[in-house]
Amino acid sequence: MNKASRIFCPSLITPKNAVVKQTEQLSRSQKLLTELGLVKSGSNGTYQIMPMAQRSVDKCIDLVQSNMQQAGGQKITLPILTPTGLWKKTGRLEGDISEFYMVRDRSGKQFLMSPTHEEAVTAMLATTSPISYRQLPLRLFQIGPKFRDELKTRFGLMRAKEFLMKDMYSFDVSEETAKETYSVVNSAYDRLFKQLEVPFVKVNAATGMMGGSVSHEYHYVSPVGEDNLLQCSSCGFAGNSEVVKASASCPSCNSSDLNEVRGVEVAHTFLLGDKYSKPLGATFLNTSGKPQSLVMGCYGIGITRVIAAALEVLSSDHELHWPKLLAPYDVCLIGPKQGSKEQPQAEVIENELLLNVGEICGHQELLHDDRKELTIGKRLLEAKRLGHPLTIVVGAKSARQDSPKLEVHTSKGETYELDFSETLKLVAEHSQNKKSLERGCFQRETEESKSRSVGHQL
């Protein structure tokens, strides 16, 4: 069982009347995660993830992994270090490489601390015994750390020098089948972001240093976003301003309902063609038994950025609000204060709840705030700031002889007085809703949460 007294959560305590000098611009999510002890700054642009936030990271990884496997993905792990010689072959060392970390081994050989792995995975296939067209399409993905020497690290996990990312690489026999793979993986992305229940937009984007012919970005709309997006409220068109120049009307439907918003990029997809396979010699044997260049795509999701950006969109200035599937715990149970007159009787109910609630939502999803030396009010305030979907308080009203009641608080700001069975029913409803989301079953789809996109006709 998860006990609050045992969880390492080094929150920041600011003395009363202390003057705090702000040295950098903080985002809402960064401020709350740091203050509440879920994330700590390691060095400039690096962050240490504490146990409670790690639960959210693990849940995000599991959700992403499930969707990639449904899209035909197979999980692999590639070395973080990639020989620079591979990047020279593809020409990517000729551009701006100021964001890349370079290291040398004791023999003087140079490596990249990979910000992405197109060269590495393509070289792996190039050195594999002949691949038959019967083995394709091949969709390989990994989840691991990436490194970029950001000039301006800011907003915590949203723009860091080290971050966690899912990157998938697809290999097909032709442009036509590569487009089919692109559609399948993009559909998996659409499903994933709907599961998270955070409004998102999908936009046409520039291919940039990655190259290729087609590219789409997934964004959470937020004032702290670094991308300028154009969005049409009439037809749903959306585009990155790098691709779509600002104009008085929508490029798709000519409507004048075109608005500029700021977006945090949380995922990106590319149709690459043979940009990497040709210079690195990655081929397959076609139906005639002759070697032919593999046709590629690549697909990234920023795991830690998704979490931070989702919190940025959903949270208030004082309280975290998590996507239902990423909340560290489903339920927080607060027992009576030590020494209170209701403690003996309330603890009987508390113990029954620990058993029954745990059986409904899973004991690992239940956090027991057993710090009974603290007042209920102080523990409840902390629970609200941490954003637990449901917080159950076993207080004085639970010890009433006539009609004992439990106080239940939701992360949406609702408060209920419920009896024992009603409380369990509310927990069961939350648990069932979570399971529906995990299966990709959406109760309703609002205009806000729909993927606004164009360019599927490849």
The CATH number of whichever domain residue 268 belongs to comes to 3.30.930.10
In a domain, 325, yes or no: no
Of 278, 311, 344, the domain-final residue: 311
Are residue 32 and residue 125 in the same domain, yes or no?
A: no
Would you say residue 324 lies in a domain?
Answer: no
Question: Which strands sit side by side in the sheet containing 131-132, from one edge to the other?
Answer: 131-132, 283-285, 291-293
* 240 and 105 assigned to the same domain: yes
Whether the CB-CB separation of 197 and 389 falls below 8 Å is answered with: no
* CATH number of the domain enclosing 397: 3.40.50.800
Does residue 131 sit within a domain? yes
Q: Of the residues 251, 282, 311, which one is the last residue of a structural domain?
A: 311
pLDDT at 453: 41
User: Are residues 74 and 15 part of one domain?
Assistant: no
380 and 253 in a common domain: no
Distance of CA 443 to the CA centre of its chain: 22
Q: Are residues 155 and 181 in the same domain?
A: yes
pLDDT recorded at residue 446: 40
- 38: containing domain: 2-48
Identify residue 279 by its one-letter amino acid code: P
Q: For position 448, what pLDDT does the model report?
A: 38
Selection from 100, 132, 135, 136 nearest residue 119 by Cα: 100
Token reading at 196: 């998270």
CB-CB contact of 421 with 362 (8 Å)? no
pLDDT of residue 458: 38
In this structure, are 136 and 7 located in the same domain?
no
What pLDDT score was predicted for residue 445?
A: 44
Pair (21, 150) in one structural domain: no
User: Which residues of the chain are under the pLDDT cut of 70?
Assistant: 15-25, 209, 245, 247-248, 442-458
Whether residues 123 and 221 share a domain: the answer is yes
Strands 214-221 and 258-273: antiparallel
Q: Is there a domain that residue 454 lies in?
A: no
CB neighbour burial string for 133-153, b if at least 16 within 10 angstroms, e if fewer: beebbbbbbbbeebbbeeeeb
CA-based R_g, the chain, Å: 25
Question: Do 37 and 98 lie in a common domain?
Answer: no
Contacts of 256 (CB under 8 A, 6+ apart): 248, 249, 250
Q: Are residues 7 and 69 in the same domain?
A: no
| Residue where one domain finishes, among candidates 311, 341, 356 | 311
Residues 262 and 350 in one domain: no
Residue 447 lies in a domain: no
Total number of domains constituting the chain = 3
340 inside domain: yes
CA angle 46, 48, 54 (to 5 degrees): 130
Q: What is the pLDDT of residue 334?
A: 98
Q: Same domain, yes or no, for 243 and 143?
A: yes
Q: Is residue 451 one of the residues assigned to a domain?
A: no
- Determine the pLDDT at residue 108: 95
In what order do the strands lie in the sheet containing 81-83?
A: 81-83, 110-113, 101-104
Tell me whether residue 445 is in a domain: no
